[in-house]
Amino acid sequence: MAAKGISTIGAASRSLSSSLMAAAKEPDVENLRLIEELTSNVDAVQERVLAEILGRNADAEYLDKCGLDASDTDRATFRAKVPVASYDDLKPYVKRIANGDRSPILSTHPIIEFFTSSGTSAGERKLMPIVTDEMARREVLSSLATSVLNVYVPGLHTGKGLYFLFARSETKTPGGLTAQPALTSVYKSEHFKRAYAYTSPMAAILCEDASQSMYAQMLCGLCQRHDVLRVGAVFAAALVRAIRFLQLNWAQLAADIETGELNPRVTDPSDRECSRGDWTGIVTRLWPKTKCLNVVVTGVMAQYIPILHYYSGGLPIVSGMYASSECFFGLNLRPLCGPSEVSYTIMPNTAYFEFLPVGEAVDASNLVELARVEDGREYEVVVTTYAGLNRYRVGDVLCVTGFHNAAPQFRFVRRQSVLLSIEADKTDEAELQRAVERASSALLRPRGASVVEYTSRACTERVPGHYVVYWELLTESGNTVDGETLGRCCLEMEEALSAVYRQGRVTDGSIGPLEIHVVRPGTFEEVMDLAVSCGTSIGQYKLPRCVTLPCMVEQLDSRVVSSHFSPALPHWTLAP
> Per residue in 150-178, pLDDT tens?
999 988 889 999 999 988 888 899 999 99
- What burial letters (b/e) apply to 116-148, b meaning 16+ CB within 10 Å? bbbbbeebebbbbbbbeebbebbbebbbbbbbb
Longest dimension (CA), the chain: 83
DSSP string, 499-559: HHHHHIIIII--SPPPEEEEE-TTHHHHHHHHHHHTT--TTT----SS---HHHHHHHHHT
Q: Name the strands in the sheet holding 292-296, side by side, starting at the edge strand that comes first in the sequence.
A: 160-164, 228-235, 292-296, 317-318
Overall average pLDDT of the 242-251 stretch: 87
End of a domain among 386, 415, 444? Answer: 415
3-state secondary structure of 147: helix
267 and 162 in a common domain: yes
Distance set, CA 9 to CA 20, 36, 249, 513 (Å): 9, 8, 42, 45
**Residue 85 gets which letter from DSSP?**
B
Residue 145 lies in a domain: no
40 and 19 in a common domain: yes
Overall average pLDDT of the 204-228 stretch: 89
Residue 144 lies in a domain: no
- pLDDT confidence of residue 541: 64
241 and 162 in a common domain: yes
Q: Which residue has the higher pLDDT, 198 or 476?
A: 198
pLDDT band at 264 (very low <50, low <70, confident <90, very high): very low
The answer, yes or no, to whether residue 534 has pLDDT greater than 80, is no
- pLDDT confidence of residue 507: 87
End of a domain among 387, 415, 443? Answer: 415
The answer, yes or no, to whether residue 6 has pLDDT greater than 80, is no
- pLDDT confidence of residue 64: 93
- pLDDT confidence of residue 35: 93
Q: In sequence order, what are the residues at sequence separation of 6 or more whose Cβ sits closer than 8 angstroms to the Cβ of residue 307?
A: 240, 460
DSSP string, 371-409: GG--TT-EEEEEEE-TTS--SEEEEEEEEEEEEETTEEE
The mean of the pLDDT values for the chain is 86
* Contact between 549 and 531 (Cβ < 8 Å): no
Tell me: the pLDDT tens digits for 286-332? 999 999 999 998 876 787 788 899 899 999 999 999 998 899 999 99
374 and 505 in a common domain: no
561 and 434 in a common domain: yes
* Contact between 189 and 70 (Cβ < 8 Å): no
Instruction: Give the whole-angstrom CA distance, residue 134 versus residue 351.
Output: 10
Instruction: Give the whole-angstrom CA distance, residue 194 versus residue 47.
Output: 33
* Contact between 448 and 473 (Cβ < 8 Å): no
- pTM, rounded to two decimals: 0.78
3-state secondary structure of 434: helix
* Contact between 235 and 295 (Cβ < 8 Å): yes
- What burial letters (b/e) apply to 20-34, b meaning 16+ CB within 10 Å? bbeebeeebbebbeb
- pLDDT confidence of residue 118: 60
Residue 142 lies in a domain: no
Tell me: the pLDDT tens digits for 275-284? 677 788 999 9
Tell me: the pLDDT tens digits for 86-126? 999 999 999 999 999 999 999 999 999 999 876 543 446 78
474 and 429 in a common domain: yes
- pLDDT confidence of residue 275: 65
Q: Label residue 277 exposed, middle or buried (CB < 10 Å: 0-12, 13-18, 19+).
A: exposed
Residue 323 lies in a domain: no
Instruction: Give the whole-angstrom CA distance, residue 20 versus residue 29.
Output: 10
Instruction: Give the whole-angstrom CA distance, residue 460 versus residue 134.
Output: 35
370 and 422 in a common domain: no
Residue 492 lies in a domain: yes
Instruction: Give the whole-angstrom CA distance, residue 450 versus residue 209.
Output: 39
167 and 248 in a common domain: yes
Instruction: Give the whole-angstrom CA distance, residue 198 versus residue 202.
Output: 9
551 and 467 in a common domain: yes
Strands 292-296 and 171-172: unpaired
3-state secondary structure of 470: strand
Overall average pLDDT of the 342-352 stretch: 95
- pLDDT confidence of residue 566: 96
- pLDDT confidence of residue 119: 52
Overall average pLDDT of the 537-552 stretch: 75
Residue 572 lies in a domain: no
Q: CA nearest 456: which of 553, 538, 529?
A: 553
Q: Which residue has the higher pLDDT, 524 or 559?
A: 559
Q: Which residue has the higher pLDDT, 363 or 536?
A: 363
The answer, yes or no, to whether residue 265 has pLDDT greater than 80, is no
- pLDDT confidence of residue 535: 64
The tally of domains found in the chain comes to 3
What φ, ψ does residue 569 adopt, rounded to 5°? -85, 140
3-state secondary structure of 402: strand
Instruction: Give the whole-angstrom CA distance, residue 11 versus residue 20.
Output: 9
Q: Which residue has the higher pLDDT, 417 or 32?
A: 32
- pLDDT confidence of residue 120: 44
The answer, yes or no, to whether residue 16 has pLDDT greater than 60, is no
What residues does 231 pair with on adjacent strands?
Answer: 162, 293
Percentage of residues of the chain with pLDDT beyond 70: 89
pLDDT band at 266 (very low <50, low <70, confident <90, very high): very low
What residues does 393 pair with on adjacent strands?
Answer: 382
Would you tell me how many other CB atoms lie within 10 Å of the CB of residue 231?
28
CA R_g for the chain: 25
164 and 228 in a common domain: yes
- pLDDT confidence of residue 448: 86
Residue 530 lies in a domain: yes
174 and 269 in a common domain: yes
Q: Which residue has the higher pLDDT, 262 or 469?
A: 469
Instruction: Give the whole-angstrom CA distance, residue 330 versus residue 353.
Output: 11
3-state secondary structure of 84: coil
pLDDT band at 23 (very low <50, low <70, confident <90, very high): low
∠ Cα 79 85 91 (to 5°) = 140
Residue 146 lies in a domain: no
Percentage of residues of the chain with pLDDT beyond 90: 51
- pLDDT confidence of residue 45: 96
**Residue 170 gets which letter from DSSP?**
-
Least confident residue range of 183-197, 255-269, 363-377: 255-269
Range of the domain at 58: 8-95+127-133+342-415
524 and 537 in a common domain: yes
End of a domain among 385, 415, 445? Answer: 415
